[in-house]
C-alpha cells in the first residue's frame, strides 16, 4: 500500500492501490488523505482492487492554484481513475467531504459509478461542526499559522508514535490529529481554506445534494454513519435514506465521524456485503436522460 504517483495536467496526484477484483475507490474527507483508509484497505483487498487517492491539495498530492470545488475534485478523480488508471467502472466510497465528491462524480460522470457509498457524508444537510464554520470567516487564513505551528506537529507526531508502540489505539483522536498536523504546512492550509469555503459558509454546509438524491435510484446506494458523530449529525443519514429510493442504511453504534477507522472490520464487512448483494449500475446517457425527465415535481 505504498504511495504511487501520476501527473495530471502538470500536477502530481498521489494514490494507494492494492488487491485484485472489482474496483473500490475510497475518497477521504476534509484535511485528510488516503492514510485514513489504511486499516480497512487490507481487509477489502482480499476480494477487491482498492484505490485510495489523495485529493488535490491533500496528503501527498500537489496543491495547484485554482478550483477546489466538488466538481473540480470529481473531475480530478475521473482523470485519475478513468484516464490514468484505465478503469471503466467502480464502486465509489466517500467519507465526509469525500461523500460530497462521490455524489458529484456520480452526477457528472454516471457511467463510471457502479455503486455509491456515503460514509458520514457532507452535502446532505446544513448542520456541520462549529469549528469548520469558524474557519470560513474572513481572514481566517491569516490566523491559522499561529494555530497550527510546525513544532506542535512534530511533538504530536512523536506522542502518537509513542502511544502506538505501547498498543494504545485511539483512531478518532488519531484522525483528528492527522488533519490538524497537515495544516501546519502553508500550501496545505491554502488548499484547505479553498476546499472548505467551496462547501461551507459561517452558517453551515453551503452545498446540498438533497434536490438531486432521486437520481440515486439509478445506482445501488449505501449510507453508513456513526451515531456519535459530532462533526456531521447522524440525522442527516436518516433524512438522506428517506430521499434516496432503495438505499441501504447502516448505523454504527458508538462510532463517530471516522467510523471506517474506528470499526474497520465491521466497515469492510458491511461494504463487502453491500457489493456482493447488489447489481452494479450500467448507465449511459440515454438512461440518465430518462431519469432526469422522470424526476419528481
- Residues labelled catalytic: 96, 229, 257
Q: Which residues pair with 117 in a beta bridge?
A: 93, 222
Please name the residues in contact with 201: beta carbons below 8 A apart, sequence gap of 6 or more: 133, 136
User: What does each C-alpha distance from 221 to 32, 75, 227 come to in angstroms?
Assistant: 23, 21, 19
Measuring CA to CA, which residue among 85, 105, 123 is closest to residue 27? 105
- Cell triple for 99: 461523500
Alpha-carbon distance 285 to 46, whole Å? 34
Contact 49, 186 (CB under 8 A): no
Contact 179, 131 (CB under 8 A): no
The greatest distance separating any two alpha carbons of the chain, rounded to the nearest whole angstrom, comes to 58
Amino acid at each position: 500500500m505504498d504511495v504511487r504517483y501520476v501527473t495530471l495536467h502538470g500536477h502530481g496526484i498521489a494514490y494507494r492501490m492494492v488487491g485484485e477484483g472489482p474496483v473500490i475507490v475510497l475518497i477521504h474527507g476534509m484535511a485528510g488523505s488516503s492514510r485514513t483508509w489504511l486499516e480497512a484497505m487490507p481487509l477489502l483487498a482480499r476480494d477487491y482492487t482498492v484505490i485510495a487517492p489523495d485529493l488535490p491539495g491533500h496528503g501527498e498530492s500537489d496543491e495547484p492554484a485554482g478550483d477546489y470545488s466538488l466538481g473540480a475534485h470529481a473531475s480530478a478523480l475521473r482523470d485519475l481513475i478513468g484516464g490514468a488508471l484505465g478503469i471503466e467502472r467502480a464502486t465509489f466510497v466517500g467519507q465526509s467531504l469525500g461523500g460530497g465528491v462521490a455524489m458529484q462524480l456520480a452526477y457528472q460522470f454516471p457511467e463510471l459509478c457502479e455503486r455509491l457509498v456515503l460514509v458520514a457524508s457532507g452535502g446532505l444537510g446544513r448542520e456541520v461542526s462549529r469549528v469548520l464554520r469558524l474557519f470560513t470567516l474572513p481572514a481566517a487564513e491569516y490566523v491559522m499559522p499561529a494555530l497550527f505551528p510546525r513544532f506542535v506537529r512534530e511533538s504530536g507526531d512523536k506522542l502518537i508514535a509513542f502511544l502506538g508502540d505501547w498498543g494504545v489505539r485511539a483512531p478518532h483522536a488519531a484522525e483528528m490529529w492527522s488533519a490538524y498536523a497537515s495544516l501546519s504546512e502553508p500550501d496545505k492550509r491554502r488548499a484547505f481554506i479553498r476546499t472548505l469555503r467551496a462547501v461551507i459558509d459561517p452558517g453551515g454546509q453551503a452545498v446540498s445534494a438533497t434536490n438531486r438524491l432521486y437520481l440515486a435510484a439509478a445506482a445501488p446506494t449505501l449510507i453508513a454513519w456513526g451515531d456519535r458523530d459530532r462533526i456531521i449529525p447522524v440525522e442527516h443519514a436518516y433524512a438522506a435514506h428517506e430521499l434516496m429510493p432503495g438505499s441501504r442504511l447502516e448505523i454504527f453504534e458508538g462510532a463517530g465521524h471516522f467510523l471506517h477507522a474506528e470499526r474497520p472490520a465491521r466497515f469492510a464487512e458491511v461494504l463487502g456485503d453491500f457489493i456482493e448483494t447488489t447489481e452494479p449500475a450500467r448507465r449511459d446517457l440515454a438512461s440518465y436522460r430518462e431519469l432526469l425527465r422522470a424526476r419528481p415535481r
